[in-house]
Amino acid sequence: MLAFGSFSPLQQRETRNRTQGRRVAHSVSVRAKIERVDRFQQRNRVIGFLFATNKKYSDDQGGYLAAIIAYYGFFSIFPLLLVFTTILGYVLHGHPKAEHAVVNSALGQFPIIGPQLAHGHLTGSAIALVVGLVGALWAGMGVFLAAQSAMNSLWGVPFRKRPNFVSQRLGALALLAVLGGGALATSLLSGLGTFGAKYGIVWKVGSIALATGLNFLLFWGAFRFLTSKDVPWSCLRGGAIAAAIAYQVLQALGGYYIGHVVKSASNTYGTFALVIGLLTWIYLSAHILLLAAEGNVVAARHLYPRTLLSTSPPTDADKRAFRQRAAVEERRPHEQIDVDFETKAH
């Protein structure tokens, strides 16, 4: 076979032109296919809604917002474990039957707590209880502050209409007490209905159904109270239903993971498995919360269908989404003056 350099300049130029022509034809073909898919998704309400929700989630940097919530959520786990183990040390002291029941439960599979329970070394400590409570409150407040900021961003609430520093933190503490307690109750109910729980099928189904219903109420309330803007309750119902079902599935998978993967792992690798599993579970939970909320925004403000191609003419939904995103940056009058002054100074 002759090398490319052995061809004459004319033949080389013709070869390059044919190669370039094939690339252009391929690009045109791909673009034509994307345009057909775009027209199809814009005509189909369900697919158009799902795509618009995903696109707005990407525009709002939903993955970044979920990561912030997951960070504070993961950080809050450890002071909560400190509080929980301290309380167990007080409660289980002198009650061998109760201690044996806890050791055989899913809690006994935790690498940190499980060995202490098994050897009877778990004791109560007033200092540990106080430190754990303070740490749990601080980190838990961070979770709700991050969730409030994320919800306001999704709904396009301008900065000038958001609560001030003190109001945000007081509201976060109130939500921590109400929604945090409810989330703990649903987790306990879901634990009774997980695959590894040693209960009858009727008890499992009843526990899961009750936990799903309570999850729906919690998500419905969270969507309403985490947003500074007055959003009608009816606009939040669909997202709450979707989030409750998805979260219940995630809880069931989490219970299965602890009861099988963590249980069968060694103490060292079980610790890694637990940490990775917890972080993944919290991160996915944050995604469920924000994606369901994003669906509420898209449905309530009819932000669909959106276009697939940035070079295509924007739809009416695209224009409404752009206007909402631009409105987020509106500041209070004194903040705007400071911004203008800094801009002129530079």
Mean pLDDT, all residues of the chain: 77
Q: What is the pLDDT of residue 155?
A: 92
Task: Please give the average per-residue pLDDT across 306-318, as a whole number.
Answer: 86
Q: What is the pLDDT of residue 284?
A: 92
Q: Round the CA-based radius of gyration of the chain to a whole number and report it.
A: 27
Q: What is the pLDDT of residue 339?
A: 43
Q: Look at 188 and 170; give whichever has higher pLDDT.
A: 170
Could you read off the pLDDT of 265-308 as tens digits, one per residue?
A: 555 565 677 778 788 888 999 999 999 999 999 999 999 999 98
Lowest mean pLDDT among 63-67, 143-147, 192-196, 230-234: 192-196
Q: What is the pLDDT of residue 175?
A: 83
Q: How far apart are CA 240 and CA 283, in angstroms?
A: 18
Task: Please give the average per-residue pLDDT across 92-97, as a whole number.
Answer: 60
Q: How far apart are CA 52 and CA 73, in angstroms?
A: 28
pTM for the whole structure: 0.75
Q: Is 117 a residue whose pLDDT tops 60? A: no
Q: Is 228 a residue whose pLDDT tops 60? A: yes
Q: Is 82 a residue whose pLDDT tops 60? A: yes
Instruction: Assign 343 a pLDDT band (cuts: 50, 70, 90).
Output: very low
Could you read off the pLDDT of 136-150 as tens digits, one per residue?
A: 888 888 899 999 999
- Is the CB of residue 324 less than 8 Å from the CB of residue 156? yes
